[in-house]
Structure 1
Amino acid sequence: MKVLVAGANGTTGRLLIQYLKEDGHEAYGMVRKEEQKTKIEGLGGIPVLADLTKDVGHTVKGMDAVIFAAGSGSSTGSDQTTAVDRDGAINLVKATENLGIKKFVMLSAISADDPSQGSGPMEHYLKMKLEADEYLQGTELDYTIVRPGGLTNEEGTSKIKVGKKVDRDSIPRADVAKTMIAALEEPNAYHKTFEMVSGDTQIEDALKSL
């Protein structure tokens, strides 16, 4: 399967490229800067140069699936959060639809369905995530929206807890990446939006239980 990863230079994005390659997929990593290409190649991926806030049609051409794992980052202002986390995500969804690609996996955030749980910049971030999620939910794509708890860089366990709502907790980025990849080929995960944290259920079993 040819899979495009938007946000491939981020911590979770790099894990996605690595695991996709290990699972036998062709991993294409979208990056904004020329100098970021070598990092994607080093992970076994194929770099694609693009800016989410501009035309991204060329990045999805020929793909079988698209994963959105981009984020504006904690050091940017609200304008960048809007531009990347909402508008950039919607821009990529539209390009995916236009080219007839069916599978789209979105990396969202826990509590995105209730932005008031955040304060200041976090509330705005959750609101932008929610609006992007809602746009995707309104399409005919076979979407999966993953809303993880606090992301850590600990070693993954491949055991998670999923649900429409789960208690706020943490989860290794590795397990989030593996869950997103597993969702590509698990029909029960299609047209589903769920929160996830570390738990006791194997990823594949957790997706089948949604």
Structure 2
Amino acid sequence: MKILVVGANGQIGRHLVQSIQNSGEHVARAMVRKEEQVSHFKELGAETAVVDLEGEIEEIAKAADGVDAVVFTAGSGPKTGKDKTIMVDLDGAVKTIEATKKAGVKRFVIISSYDTTREAIQNAGESMAPYVVAKHYADEWLRGAGLDYTMIHPGLLTNDAGTGKVDVGPSVKADNVAREDIANVIFESLKNDATIGKEFKVINGQTPIQEALGNL
């Protein structure tokens, strides 16, 4: 399986590309924004594509040409303004979904946020509301796009080493989760067709990832 990782230079994206390449069976195509970000992924043996998410759908579609699945892990990050939240977390996600369809790819995994319901928008503080709104509408777009999607809602992301064990489900209580574990949840989801059409929350837990996904 060849997997386009959009947002590959982010922390989850880097873990995911590493896991894919370590498998020896699957291949990552790392989509990054800058040419200077390419060398890290080439050293891992991954394919690369330099594409700006704020560019045209056609450029993203070219990056997706010939892959079996697309993963959207991109995010504007906490240090950017509301404009980048809209351009990356919402418009970038929607363009990637449309580019995936344009490239004839069916399988799509998106990293959302823990809670993107209307209630979550109403309860979000002023600084977080634009982010939750962006994620809410990106999720809504994906649900109606006709793709074989999996939507992952992680808890509070940390840089702790992954344990390989998580709790997953539609209503697990908010808690921390390691970015490394989220990357491995993505990878295992791609290998498990039972996750197609599913969305679930993920936090630190006691169940091995493969088993946890099998229990969905």
| TM-score after normalising by structure 1 | 0.96
What do you get for the CA RMSD once the two structures are aligned? 1.1
> Any unmatched runs of 5+ in structure 1?
none
Residues of 2 paired with 1:70 and 1:10: CA distance? 7
Letter of the structure 1 residue corresponding to residue 11 of structure 2: T
Report the equivalent of 2:22.
Answer: 22
Residues of 2 paired with 1:34 and 1:82: CA distance? 24
Q: Secondary structure at the match of 1:112?
A: coil
Q: How big is the shift at 1:67?
A: 0.4
Letter of the structure 2 residue corresponding to residue 57 of structure 1: A
Report the equivalent of 1:203.
Answer: 209
Q: Is the 8 A contact 2:93 2:138 kept in 1?
A: yes
Question: 2:91 aligned to 87, 91, 113, which one?
Answer: 87
Letter of the structure 1 residue corresponding to residue 34 of structure 2: K
> Any unmatched runs of 5+ in structure 2?
none
Instruction: Map Cα deviations across residues 30-82 of structure 1 (whole Å, 9 max, x no partner).
Output: 11111111122233322210011222111100110000000001111101000
Instruction: Map Cα deviations across residues 137-179 of structure 1 (whole Å, 9 max, x no partner).
Output: 1122110010101111111111111111221110011110000
Letter of the structure 1 residue corresponding to residue 28 of structure 2: A
Q: Is the 8 A contact 1:7 1:13 kept in 2?
A: yes
Residues of 2 paired with 1:164 and 1:134: CA distance? 16
Aligned-residue identity in percent:
41
Letter of the structure 2 residue corresponding to residue 30 of structure 1: M
Q: Secondary structure at the match of 1:121?
A: coil
Residues of 2 paired with 1:127 and 1:44: CA distance? 37
Q: Is the 8 A contact 1:14 1:43 kept in 2?
A: no
Residues of 2 paired with 1:162 and 1:90: CA distance? 25
Q: Secondary structure at the match of 2:31?
A: strand
Stretch of structure 1 that moved more, 36-45 or 83-92: 36-45
| TM-score after normalising by structure 2 | 0.94
1:147 paired with 2:153, answer yes
Report the equivalent of 1:76.
Answer: 80
Q: How big is the shift at 1:20?
A: 0.6
Runs of 4+ residues deviating >3 angstroms:
none
Letter of the structure 2 residue corresponding to residue 5 of structure 1: V
1:169 paired with 2:175, answer yes
Q: Is the 8 A contact 2:62 2:103 kept in 1?
A: no
Question: 1:102 aligned to 99, 106, 114, which one?
Answer: 106
Instruction: Map Cα deviations across residues 105-157 of structure 1 (whole Å, 9 max, x no partner).
Output: 00111012222332122121011011101110112211001010111111111
